[in-house]
Structure 1
């Protein structure tokens, strides 16, 4: 009969029910608190409160399933089946209410999601941008984690733990699931932890205090309880807790790497979407103007006058094409593509203005790039065929570019919540510098670009005026041609270095949005300004028009330059003139154009027209000159060194105090005091083993109590017990005769032999705990004896 069965009431036995003891309820309460501290670690990944319903729901379902199966005496295998049934039944309401029927009743989608999230959600969560909101089954991750932890912890607490004697070692097994959940929150989190210090210290303190209380309940013998013993016990627990907090917190502060070096699993995994795996959208510009000029690509509802459809934002140039930055070249200012939920984070620079909703129906368009409007704030797929686009869409919230890896096909209907940025006028931008951004590099830029940038910018003093001069110069000098047969002058497609060189050197200057937007961006980059190229569609929207059909001839491209505190300001460098002359011998005058400073004719001309490229002053070999600790060394050091410090530092301090205590008793004072010190040392050693010895007792009384405790604990005791040894110490102290050194050595040898035998039979864990205890159980008795001896000596001297 188990301990739990023995405590059952007869009426419960008749009903076949089991009861949970008060001690077990305390265990469950502590485990719930520890699990709650671990759950808080999911906040950086899911965002504030977005995961709490699922996490708490899993904790409740797992705990309830384990308790119910225990109370009704259900065996392990049926209990697992019942727990899985509860997991599936309540998983929809807690983790996927949006996919449920009526918010509660499971549907086929939600039932599949409860299993899909448990298996694939862990891989998805470390590849998605935080806060994670998609795919729909992602909330199953905290639900499944807490359900599993609660099920295992509670089952162990009510089934396995009461079967044998409750010890601190057996109780510590219950902490393992909550500890695993704690580390899971760290692994899937971000470089910004959620109250890491407070949560870690609270977790450690609660676990240590609970394990200490558990050890007391496990049978540590306490003969009598008085105020001083209880006070010493409380002080001891407080010292252990404070020591753990101080050493752990101080060690963590000193050994923890910089936040930039914090190991985060999601930072080590490259997102699966690489834009370079697909053709650059700008490279297919002429395909829209020639082959699909009259093709109905989209039907758009809700597009306002002046709004454009943004197809892709391109900020990387390799001498051939402008492209979307790949994971290998993207920067924090260019952003990256992530799988997001319905809500899309606002871009870091844009100042939000008016909001609207645009609904797009795909007709003749087929590509991976998903057109949006301005900066998207929400994205809903209303209708689709084939693969669910919510699982394959990747969005760059920094640039507003979206891509569907499974393809944007005919029949797709989606709605985009749009915010239009607020763009100040040029007068307001006159004193505003460009933003300090690090964008992907531009390479293989023709030399003529830098010379033309200096020429077109003129002597303008402000940044906005220089950029407007470049924009105005291109629209004034150039002519628009899409390379159609009806155009007066042929225009070659492309935006490579040779095409840009041809644009600037051949007369007349002829091109389309592809060439002019590329040329403007390269010139602005040569002057050191952060610029990017945007490709999209600009259909004509009349006031009061609710629906517009977008065709290939509506394709366009423009540029955006980032200004500090303002955002991305658009520029439209493409001319509108199409009547380019066949031959042009004179260059049109640029109006208004300030006086242009001609490039010098010295040998430095070649260097001045070269595109300035930012080159780091640091020598790559310099990194090898100084020793740099890698991140993995911090991780390994933290995992190994901190526990070693927590173990050995208190061990060495307490061991030093014990050696000092023994040395003082063995060598300090008179002979009778050294003889009494042997018994004091014995009492302290047994008190450290967990034997409670009241301070106000004689040696004979204390020896009898130690005999009882040792017998109850099953420890080895000296032959004849401790009473004879206590009597010999009393004779040496109170006989009034001189105590010989041989007698003192004999008393110490007997005391050491007795404690050594008991320690050897106490067990490894108990010896380890005793090594971290420091007791002075006989301190009060020693003071009393010292006072008594002093009075006796004073009386003897008075008689003489």
Structure 2
């Protein structure tokens, strides 16, 4: 491996090791794989550009261009084409939106933050920029010592933000990568001085490597750097740890932990687990229909749903009255909850609306009084927690909600707000679905019935997201999971001026007997909450085959204003009913969730989606095809060159022709023999005469008599052209080339024959030609530039020259 190749590899390795200090910043570490891929591609791009006849300053520019394209492909899929591999016309604006969302997330979340697309974009792009800087300094300009500055900046920022989650391991890895880079460049510098006399015994030679003393100094410095922080004060820091998701806390003694409920929910839904997360008991007769709500997201900015700018307070002994509830003297239910060690980094699961919560350490929890969300101040606060809950048992009827008065103007203004760039299709579809409904309740029921109808399908393989583009894609494809159903119904309800928000939490647990229920990882869920004056926030269930329909959407009621509401409610009630289970022992909850239908139905549903429609499959196929096409360039070029050299007719340089051959045809035939031998492992030797070269090929390849004679005739014809007076060659040289080539292939091994076809060494001439053309173009451009410069500055120079010669004038 050449020194430049070693420096390229070691600079990429140093950047990758230094970037590991950023892994504690997010709740998941899968993003680092994307960062490593970016580092590798940037290093490969730099290696390729440095081999081209280009100015050194153009190499980092090319690497930055490659980095930008990779970011477009990786994070601007909404505007890309061809399976996301080719950036489209809207890719740049899509990337800008993701980056802007990431900047907002930095202001909202503490460490570790959820792995949102915006935060991953910021981290990956930062690592990519550091990779470009390190590669430019260490490899392009051969200043490896200075490459430690960007590596130190990367480590300092990452470890400073990680705070107490940082580790000396990250510093050790980053330092080791930097030392390896220094050793590689040091070895190259020493080797340029030639053999170094060390006073050793005779016969001992210097290999040009960095001496043992230099390696010891490097290891000693690394050991001191690792031990020194033990005796220094620790730097406490964090990623903007104030507030909860950007919510300023009033009266709160500390910051709440970061959590993007939808991001966490999507990751759990796409990899469901049967492990028990919590167990609880409720003394209500509707416990089997009670959802456990961890939080509610009431602000939609076109990118995602998130917690609004409410007020975070210390957890009170009694919660304030629920928003919109007219009669607070409704019956109460009580429950005991026990959280397992499997549930971490979650807001507190509670039935809605909760009145009070008894916790062992109330100081570890804060309350958002608007959404009644209880949030922890520590990531581990909920793990193994036991707590008691008192909640209101609000049971409105369908007629109660249908005749509810209109919400106040301030509620409607806040909870019907929509981004200005919301696609028009959302409001249009909402109006179509609710065309026959006249009240807010009947419109909500019509929306839920439409979503749970047969045209929509529950599918966890769909890419997550709650923004404008995700909603449009969901309405078009009609495939998604609860996050898509909940966020889309809430947005459509807001277009109808119905106050709406998105709640997250769990569906009712599995009954264990004696009013005890167990919640597993398969019960993560999201649903819309709609506001009705006098009854507050009420749950609706638009996700087919998931959850439980509220009784106020199933029961029949005498319509008071619209005669078409009864059929709408009936259709909604029957649409989501799952197919009967093939097994009598199928659990009712699994039957509700569609987990135990017959095998034939499951197979039919699986076959509905053709693999050809998968964007990942199309993208992978496109990448494979592009790679194969790139690898086949030498094969096709070599075959075309051989065909041109040996084709028939007078117009072909290597053709036999009806008469004598021209000098160009003879030389083309000889070049083909030399290249054929090169492809099969006999490189050309330009110092030999044609006859000596033919003899070398014959002896090295051990050609048979016919092949050796053909090679000899080609050599004689070539010498006649090169050294003899002008004369025509009439022999069938193309046939001789084919005979000699067949002899070469007959004596070569299988691997050599395969390489001669797929990656012929003589195809290096193609790169030489391209490089020569580029250098020629550069020289021509330089000549033209000098001419233009001389033409512009010549008169000025002549004026100054005359003044110097005649100072008196």
Q: TM-score, length-normalised on structure 2?
A: 0.34
Higher RCO (C-alpha 8 Å, min separation 6):
1
Structure with greater Cα Rg: 1
